[in-house]
Amino acid sequence: MSVLVLLEQRGDLKNCALEAATVASKIAKKAGMELNAVFIGKSLDDQADLLKGFGISKLFVYENEQLTHYSSDGYVPIVRELANELGAKVIIGSASALGKEFCASVAGRLGVELVQEAIGLDWDNGLVAKKPVYAGKVISDVRITSEPAMVSVRPNVVVVERDGDTAPELVKREMPQLDLRTVIKDVAEAAVGTVELTEAKIVCSGGRGLGEGENFKVIQALCDVLGAALGSSRAAVDAGWIHHSHQVGQTGKVVSPDLYVACGISGAIQHQAGMRTSRIIVAINKDPEANIFKICDYGIVGDLFEVVPALTEEARKILAE
């Protein structure tokens, strides 16, 4: 009986992989099960050190050039075989954009239930996941009854914690015979220096209040200073001002950064669905009655074209000190 954690990488291990390991470690302890992990990629190199202190018993490593980038043909059969071999009772992955597809594909192949986007996990004679429903207005406790119980954990809702520095036993595995219909040769980043939205620690978003697409440069300037990812409301996407990949919300991406700055966004329930679990929410809106002020920690009633450049300048000065 064991817990298996899927470690996400893009060359380097992602922070969400360490978050998943943190959650998996607690569940394994509480359930009295062994914890194992699987890394699939080009090369783990010296990153095994990052996996010390989670109580991982065995770290299964599948290294191959063809496994550099995620593909369901390559990764899913490996996890399915390993989960069966280990008799995994619980499988935990990450709810990043890639992780959600990975977990869904594994669950599909294993024929088990999957809870995506859990914001907390507990063990009570079985796995219980905290899952936001109704656009984040309700947090439900979902008991997962299938075996293995499978869940993906929303990035940034867990603080990475280690207990000691015991290293896992490395178990290097040969590349299995796979029917790879597609091999991703290369991945081009959308733009140099951009930060992936779902994993960003800070997200600054713009909405219809920007008036036109050109004005996203005001928000981008704040992002550049803070090292933040650029988000948007759906209204801005629908207006053709920004690509859908930046959309935050029910039909966009779900983010849980330490800091979310909403500029010229009214705070519709569908937008909130994508950002209300952020740790600190700052809202800038000229309408004091805007819904966003009901869920924010700090609200600034004002014209974003005055407030955002002033904030950017202040942040630039403080961060330069």
Ligand X SMILES: Cc1cc2nc3c(=O)[nH]c(=O)nc-3n(C[C@H](O)[C@H](O)[C@H](O)COP(=O)(O)OP(=O)(O)OC[C@H]3O[C@@H](n4cnc5c(N)ncnc54)[C@H](O)[C@@H]3O)c2cc1C
Residue 124: CB atoms within 10 A of its CB come to 10
Residues ≥6 apart with Cβ < 8 Å to 247: 231, 232, 233, 234, 236, 237, 253, 274
Residues touching ligand X, count (CB under 6 A): 28
Region near ligand X per CB under 6 A, out of 147-155, 166-174, 249-257, 311-319: 249-257
Provide, rounded to whole angstroms, the least separation between the CB of residue 246 and ligand X.
Answer: 10
Instruction: Establish if 305 lies at the interface with ligand X (CB under 6 A).
Output: yes
Residue 194 binds ligand X (CB under 6 A): no
Return d(Cα 131, Cα 290) in angstroms, integer.
Answer: 27
| Binder among 236, 242, 254, 311 for ligand X (CB under 6 A) | 236
Give the burial string for 155-164 (b: 16+ CB within 10 Å, else e).
bbbbebebee
Stretch that binds ligand X, among 31-39, 92-100, 108-116, 264-272 (CB under 6 A): 264-272
Question: Segment near ligand X (CB under 6 A), from 69-77, 84-92, 123-131, 232-240?
Answer: 232-240
Helix (H, G, I), strand (E, B) or coil at 18: helix
146 vs 251 by CB, closer to ligand X? 251
CB 98 within 8 A of CB 11: no
Member of 10, 201, 270, 316 binding ligand X (CB under 6 A):
270
Closest CA to 127 of 18, 34, 16, 30: 30
Contact status: 25 vs ligand X (CB under 6 A): no
The partner residues of 231 in beta bridges, in order of sequence, read 205
Least Å distance between CB 294 and ligand X?
12
Residue 282 contacts ligand X per CB under 6 A: no
Smallest distance from ligand X to CB 191, Å: 22
Sign of CA dihedral 186, 190, 195, 196: negative
Q: Is 42 in the site for ligand X (CB under 6 A)?
A: no
CA–CA separation, 208 and 9 (whole Å) = 35
CB of 15 to ligand X, least distance (A): 24
CA distance 30 to 238: 46
Position 155, amino acid: P
Reported as type and span, the H/E element at residue 202 is strand 202-206
Is 283 a binding residue for ligand X by CB under 6 A? The answer is: no
Residue 30: Cβ within 10 Å count? 12
- Report the residue from 250, 295, 315, 316 that binds ligand X according to the rule CB under 6 A: 250
Query: Which residue in 265, 283, 296, 311 binds ligand X (CB under 6 A)?
Result: 265
Choices 25-33, 66-74, 176-184, 247-255; region in contact with ligand X by CB under 6 A: 247-255
User: Is 235 an interacting residue with respect to ligand X (CB under 6 A)?
Assistant: yes
Which positions lie near ligand X, rule CB under 6 A? 207-209, 233-236, 247-252, 264-266, 268, 270-271, 274, 284-287, 290, 303-305
